[in-house]
A and B are shown apart, each in its own frame.
Chain A
Amino acid sequence: MKRRVVITGLGIVSPLGNTPELFYDNLIAGKSGIRRMTSEFVEKLDTKIAAYADFNPQDHFTRHQYSALDRVSQFSLYAAQQAIADAKLDMENIDRTRTGVYLGTGMGGANSIEEGYVRLYRDGAERLKPFTVLMAMNNAACSQIGLEYKLSGPNLTFSTACSSSAVAIGEAMRQIRHGYTDVMLAGGSEALLTFGTIKAWEALRTLAKEDANDPGASCKPFAADRTGLVLGEGAAVLILEDYEYAKARGANIYAEISGYGTANDGVHITSPTPEGQAVAIRAALKDAELNPKDIGYINAHGTATTMNDISETAAIRQVFGEFANQTPVSSTKSMHGHLMGAAAAVEIVATTLALQHQILPPTINLHQPDEKCDLDYIPNVARKNVSVIHAMSNSFAFGGTGAVLILSKESH
């Protein structure tokens, strides 16, 4: 018999605030975290908007600490600290061998890598800061959490681009479900708003044009006038626990992770297929032992690119059939941007709180839907007083890896 896995703690650093409550309040209010960048390199960019986190490391770490942590690790540590406090976990007495950390990231320590290149190639330095490798390596953000709390359970980093943290959370759930651990810290972190990284994204021609009237309205998922995605940064960490373990210690339970499915398109590195995405959605439903009619809300991947929006809509139609028109869908990326390896974790926080409060966040900037995007996307205004028991969160990545998670109210 498989063990049930529940979410008991939330932590977040995001363009919409650095607590779960503030993040969710802003989501429900339809506020945008997308802004004009103030970085010194912004004049050299075509894209001058991003969804960045108001996060000052000096507020959370000593200089000695943060000078050896890339921004991606700073985010992850702060999100983990919040999640542990929220879950009221007794870290002094926890069984450290049965507590692990799984984190997703797309580009790891992008700031440290770029700083090294600048120093070497622009400034002509002969050597780099001694911490460069340790700050830049992709597993640093995950490892720093393990080090901070002296956790000796499994500590793994997943990197599947935009679905990285969905995979991390899904695989962490399996660790508990199959009895290898009792508690997992799971989520994702991303800090890629560097000059070089944004330039590389510009070359892909997938970034949104700035809305002439309101920079915050630049990301328009499923809309006829959408122009692309907006890069974002941040992190989210969740505390996952075995249901019986959580009940025994009297933990507050936000939701159960009832299903997880992952699949690869196997077709093209950037062009998703509805068929490939449908495989992941079906796998999650099968894992949760649910049918499409049971799903009361879908937090879509919803990047606001033509490729994603049309493909994801078609995938939902393929799987949900006659129920597709009855299932509310929203893309919260319209507000918090695309946090790449951290996107799914942030969206799982959004989905968890939507289940708890029974209020579904909207897709803002959706005034005229693309005719090929014809689902119920919760346009512009949050939907209140709903009755949702099971919710789905989709993540579809460059490289083809799709990962779908299903959350359920504890009492279902």
Chain B
Amino acid sequence: MTDTLKIISQLIADKLEVDVETIKPESNLTELGMDSLDTFDIIFSAEDTFNIKVPNDKVDIATVQDVANLADALISEQHPK
């Protein structure tokens, strides 16, 4: 599991007040009990955590892995090494 995926999983676990072990990469956000606003809230937290800006047209995500992939892509794009 990548560091980004670990951090995103922890953000979701904190929000839902569940053990982080229950959050799997393939977990569907809706099935975890998150609605669209909750998803935006996680994206908002990810922006703060990784100092990235998520464009409004890039929020079509379904799983925990999708969020991590989006964050990784934006980190590379917005903070190139």
**Known A130-B44, A131-B37, A131-B41: A64·B53 in contact at CB below 8 Å:** no
Number of interface residues of B (CB under 8 A): 12
What residues on A are CB-neighbors of B14 within 8 Å? 63
Contact A64 B44 (CB under 8 A): no
Does A62 lie at the interface of the complex (its beta carbon under 8 Å from any beta carbon of B)?
yes
Does B24 lie at the interface of the complex (its beta carbon under 8 Å from any beta carbon of A)?
no
> How far apart are the CA atoms of A68 and B42 in the complex, in Å?
12
Contact A63 B15 (CB under 8 A): yes
Q: Interface 1/0s, chain A 126-141, versus B by CB < 8 A?
A: 1101110010000000
> How far apart are the CA atoms of A159 and B41 in the complex, in Å?
29
Closest chain B residue to A134, Cβ basis: B37
Does B17 lie at the interface of the complex (its beta carbon under 8 Å from any beta carbon of A)?
yes
Contact A67 B40 (CB under 8 A): no
Does B16 lie at the interface of the complex (its beta carbon under 8 Å from any beta carbon of A)?
yes
Contact of A129 among B15, B16, B44, B53 (CB under 8 A): B44
In the complex, how many angstroms separate the beta carbon of A73 from the nearest chain B beta carbon? 15
Closest chain B residue to A128, Cβ basis: B44
In the complex, how many angstroms separate the beta carbon of B11 from the nearest chain A beta carbon? 12
> How far apart are the CA atoms of A68 and B39 in the complex, in Å?
12
> How far apart are the CA atoms of A130 and B37 in the complex, in Å?
6
In the complex, how many angstroms separate the beta carbon of A367 from the nearest chain B beta carbon? 51
Q: Interface 1/0s, chain A 105-143, versus B by CB < 8 A?
A: 000000000000000000000110111001000000000
> How far apart are the CA atoms of A129 and B53 in the complex, in Å?
13
**With contacts defined as CB atoms under 8 Å apart, how many contacts are there between chain A and chain B in the complex?**
27
Main secondary structure of the interface of B (DSSP, over half): helix
In the complex, how many angstroms separate the beta carbon of A116 from the nearest chain B beta carbon? 12
**Known A68-B37, A131-B37, A134-B37: A62·B17 in contact at CB below 8 Å:** yes
> How far apart are the CA atoms of A64 and B14 in the complex, in Å?
8
Q: Interface 1/0s, chain B 3-17, versus A by CB < 8 A?
A: 000000000001111
Per the 8 Å Cβ criterion, residues 19-41 of B in contact with A are 33, 37-38, 40-41
What residues on B are CB-neighbors of A63 within 8 Å? 14-17
> How far apart are the CA atoms of A63 and B14 in the complex, in Å?
8
In the complex, how many angstroms separate the beta carbon of B71 from the nearest chain A beta carbon? 16
In the complex, how many angstroms separate the beta carbon of B2 from the nearest chain A beta carbon? 25
Contact B53 A126 (CB under 8 A): yes
Contact B16 A64 (CB under 8 A): yes
What residues on B are CB-neighbors of A127 within 8 Å? 44, 47
> How far apart are the CA atoms of A63 and B17 in the complex, in Å?
7
What residues on B are CB-neighbors of A64 within 8 Å? 15-17, 33, 38
In the complex, how many angstroms separate the beta carbon of B29 from the nearest chain A beta carbon? 13
What residues on A are CB-neighbors of B53 within 8 Å? 126
> How far apart are the CA atoms of A253 and B17 in the complex, in Å?
40
Question: A residues within 8 Å of B by Cβ?
Answer: 62-64, 67-68, 126-127, 129-131, 134
A selection of 19 A-B contacts at a CB cut-off of 8 Å is A62-B17, A63-B14, A63-B15, A63-B16, A64-B15, A64-B17, A64-B33, A67-B41, A68-B37, A68-B38, A68-B41, A127-B44, A127-B47, A129-B41, A129-B44, A130-B40, A130-B44, A131-B41, A134-B37
Given A63-B16, A68-B38, A126-B53, 13 additional A-B pairs, CB 8 A: A63-B15, A63-B17, A64-B15, A64-B16, A64-B33, A64-B38, A68-B37, A68-B41, A127-B44, A127-B47, A129-B41, A129-B44, A130-B41
